[in-house]
Amino acid sequence: MKAALPRSGSDLLRDALRNRGTAYSRDERDHLALRGLLPPRVESIEEQASRVLANVRRLPAPIEQYGYLAAVQDENETLFFRVLVDHLEELLPLVYTPTVGEACRQWSRRFLRPRGLYIGAQDAGRILEVLRNHPRRDVGIIVVTDGGRILGLGDLGMNGMGIPIGKLALYTACAGVAPERCLPVTLDVGTDTPGVREDAHYLGSRTPRLAGAAYDALVDEFVAAAEEAFPGVIVQFEDFNNANAFRLLARHRDRSCMFNDDVQGTGAMGLAALTAAARATGVTLAEERVLFAGAGEACLGIATALVAALQRAGLAESEARARCLLFDSQGTVVASRTDLPEHKRPFAQRRAPTRDLAAAIEAFRPTALIGASGQGGLFTPAVLEAMARVADRPVIFALSNPTSNSECTAEQAYAATGGRAIFASGSPFAPVALGGRTLAPAQANNAYVFPGMGLGLLACGARRATDAMFVAAAESLAAMVSDADLAAGRVFPPPSHMRDVAAAVATAVATVAFEQGLATRPRPQRLADAIRAGMYQPVYA
């Protein structure tokens, strides 16, 4: 449902969803009272996009490019998404990871124009009223964060708003969810990071982070209010800290159509990557042994998805869990430890503990090493060389963001393994020339999963987001990886294929929703075609 046309030409130019800028024809400029408000030349959207891209490339630093693209989005969303869709591979690292991490660090200092909604502890009892302040009622997807664990940067409080904004840009660019149906939300519940809270320019609440019953009540109220304000809305939880993420997922997943991308989306993405890598290594998924460097949302999400896949392959649950060894800041996650929180205990193994990662590799002999530790350089030469010894084609995923937090670089992984490694990373790395070959590692990005997941849920009006839907998402993503991708060293399709990936994932997710009786809309005769037909295209209407 579109809002009424602005009352004057100047109002129209300030409406980012409808503004065409210099693309208004001369007749439109007369009819819409725009004459004189724009430079004389009439441009096509292709000419506008060329100018935007040239300006992006001219800027010296990624954070400046991010800022310029954000300004374009604030002025003309159709143009912004046209440039983004046409140049996804080049611009994805600018509008999301890794650049969005630096944007969040500087959020309060760079703030110019609001986007989305900020809901604070002071709004308790009035959250529905705050949500109704949003000018559009046809919201389909909300991405919400409390800023508790922004990428690998920790608790940034309200400054984390860059994450929901970036995620929703990918919903539109990758999955064709119309921008007017996307709403970023930040729950400003304070921050426990003194450097953020005491910054003279910080725009969030200068209080310690809300916790306990008051925190849970605020989130409960938000979820209920979102469903009342926007019936049928999908809520994606993003970058909550470990202490809250698992509890809130368990609390709300069976009550509403919500999911946690850091746990479930990462789980599906990681499972898809392992499934694709198995085609190159010759090691079947049922034979995988995976050592996880990290035991937070990402690693536990992938481990949980892998256990489910191994059970489907015929392994008993206990045997499947034994194939997954977690290694956290205190060493291997073993049953003898008394410091394990509830969410780690199901993966605690009965084995001798070690606090040395290379030693853990030698003892466990994994086929794959997956890092989501937030510890830059954790995969030392000794660690990488140990992987080269225990596996013929070691799978090495360094998933931490931003780039400075990556466990190793692509070049380091390939050099230590003689080019035998199958590598993917959370931040992008350039192709590596080694031994007469050029290896092009893929960026392991949740953008391969969550946009299609949300699109599929929207397309069928799903009442819940289930584990089976994430399994289907992983399987459809893995199937999109071509033999040519694997030969080049990639376990994901190129970013330029993300719209095709999202359509495939959405079709798989909606199919499961219909099969599970969770859809509220009639099933189209040709589901895949219907989903593609409904995807937003960034063209002037």
Active site residues: 96, 167
Q: Indicate left, alpha or beta for 523 from its phi (over 0: left) and psi (-120 to 50: alpha).
A: beta
- Of the CA atoms within 13 Å of residue 226, those in its CB half-sphere come to 31
The three state secondary structure string of 317-378 is HHHHHHCEEEEECCEECECCCCCCCCCCHHHCECCCCCCCHHHHHHHHCCCEEEECCCCCCC
Give yes or no for a contact between 400 and 372, defined as CB atoms under 8 angstroms apart: yes
Q: Residue 401 is inside which H or E element, if any?
A: none
Give the whole-angstrom CA distance, residue 306 versus residue 272. Answer: 10
Query: How does strand 141-145 pair with strand 324-328?
Result: unpaired
Whether residue 353 contacts residue 339, with contact meaning beta carbons closer than 8 Å, is answered with no
Nearest to 97 by CA among 400, 410, 474: 400
Phi, then psi, of 176 in degrees rounded to 5? 70, 30
Sign of CA dihedral 122, 128, 129, 130: positive
Which 3-state string (H, E, C) describes 469-495? HHHHHHHHHHHCCCHHHHHCCCCCCCH
The neighbour count for residue 161, using CB atoms within 10 Å, is 29
Between CA 508 and CA 274 the distance in angstroms is 19
DSSP string, 264-333: IIHHHHHHHHHHHHHHHH---GGG--EEEE--SHHHHHHHHHHHHHHHHTT--HHHHHHTEEEEETTEE-
Report the helix count and the strand count for the chain, using DSSP H and E: 24, 14
Between the alpha carbon of residue 67 and those of residues 50, 102, 161, the distances in Å are 18, 11, 14
Q: Which residue has the tokens 């000018």?
A: 135
Distance CA 434, CA 429 (A): 15
Tokens read off for 106: 């500087």
